[in-house]
Amino acid sequence: MNTSVTLVEVGPRDGFQSVGPFIPTEKKLHFLTQLDACGLHDIEIGSFVSQKALPQLADTPTLLELARDIPRLRPRVLVPTLQQGRRALAADAPCLAFVLSVSEAHNRSNVRRTPEASASEYVALATSLPDDKEMRLNIGTAFDCPFEGRVQVDDVVRLLEPLISALPRAEFCLCDTTGRADPKQVSDLFKAVGESFGRDLRWAFHAHDTYGLGAANVYAAFLQGVRVFDASIAGLGGCPFAPGATGNVATEDLIYMFEKMGVSTGCDLDRMVALAGEAALLPGAQSGGRARQAITARYAAELNSSST
């Protein structure tokens, strides 16, 4: 298979935001530097949100400034509203990740707006985006909502229409917020949006591993032509509205899967496993994924057998 994928590391935002004790800014910078060294250059480093709502990410503007010294890093920041988007642009963020949910209940609990109101704010931001800035649109609850259950394909397509025409060069990410999607549902939705809007748009997929289907769902999206995947170091993260929901699919699991299939990720798996081990030990972190433990155990066994 002569192909490659882009992994977008979302641990420093999606993962860290669910960690209770504040992670010192220097520690966050350490992870950004090391993730970049592992080959992960597209990293969601934080959010522009109210500091009261998410104290863990209150240092995002500082981190954005410091991240400029990491040469290959292309930092992204999450923005939930037009106002925060403008704030991020004023701070010279190179790439905005705007988030809105298909389901009204989830969007209201997340950003206290209807999906239509969020969509209008996105269009205002997207149509005025400077040429040298990039945009990612995250469509939350594209498959399933913690309040409303399964989300219909038609609802996603209808919501996407004006958003895509506002800025076709953006990256469009369908998010399995709860982790309750299955490979067939993932396949069906990417097939439907590909047929409606064209496969040459930059599609992306954000998987959660709640039921252990994260990697299988990623592979289903890959087979539909998706080449950009979100993942989180050590599987950090969760969904505050989905009890028992574990984190995002682990970055090291996706590196392992793709590289084993001969699909290049550009990442150093061994180095990533070591770094994920460090992230899993962050106080208050809830880690997930499988490759980290399997590879660590294999190395330990090899070390033991070679020393006898």
| Catalytic residue numbers, as ranges | 239
How many angstroms separate the CA atoms of 109 and 187, rounded? 28
Q: Which stretch binds Zn ion (CB under 5 A): 37-45, 93-101, 149-157, 242-250?
A: 242-250
Buried b (16+ CB within 10 A) or exposed e, 154-171: eebbebbeebbebbeebb
* Phi, psi dihedrals of residue 221, rounded to the nearest 5°: -70, -40
Q: Which two tokens stand for residue 101?
A: 């949910």
With CB under 5 A, what is the number of residues at the site for Zn ion?
2
- Would you call 152 exposed, middle or buried from its count of C-beta atoms within 10 A (0-12, 13-18, 19+)? exposed
Q: Which two tokens stand for residue 43?
A: 């990293």
178 binds Zn ion (CB under 5 A): no
How many angstroms separate the CA atoms of 73 and 40, rounded? 8
Q: With beta carbons less than 8 A apart as the criterion, state whether 98 and 115 touch.
A: no
Nearer to Zn ion, 141 or 265 (CB): 141
56 binds Zn ion (CB under 5 A): no
3-state secondary structure of 229: strand
Q: Which stretch binds Zn ion (CB under 5 A): 8-16, 121-129, 141-149, 252-260?
A: 8-16
Q: Which stretch binds Zn ion (CB under 5 A): 11-19, 130-138, 147-155, 158-166?
A: 11-19
How many angstroms separate the CA atoms of 168 and 162, rounded? 10
Nearer to Zn ion, 81 or 177 (CB): 177
Radius of gyration of the chain (CA): 18
Q: Which stretch binds Zn ion (CB under 5 A): 133-141, 240-248, 262-270, 297-305?
A: 240-248
Nearer to Zn ion, 9 or 14 (CB): 14
CA-based angle 189:175:7, to the nearest 5?
105
Contacts of 184 (CB under 8 A, 6+ apart): 220
Q: Looking at 14, 42, 144, 171, which residue binds Zn ion (CB under 5 A)?
A: 14
Nearer to Zn ion, 224 or 248 (CB): 248
Q: With beta carbons less than 8 A apart as the criterion, state whether 15 and 234 touch.
A: yes
Nearer to Zn ion, 9 or 121 (CB): 9
Q: How far is the CB of 286 from Zn ion (least distance, A)?
A: 13
Q: With beta carbons less than 8 A apart as the criterion, state whether 148 and 186 touch.
A: no
248 binds Zn ion (CB under 5 A): yes
**Which residue from 270, 267, 252, 257 is spatially nearest to 222, judged by alpha carbons?**
257
Question: Can you give the length of the chain in residues?
Answer: 308
Q: Which stretch binds Zn ion (CB under 5 A): 27-35, 66-74, 218-226, 243-251?
A: 243-251
Nearer to Zn ion, 198 or 284 (CB): 284
Q: How far is the CB of 35 from Zn ion (least distance, A)?
A: 16
Residues that bind Zn ion (CB under 5 A): 14, 248
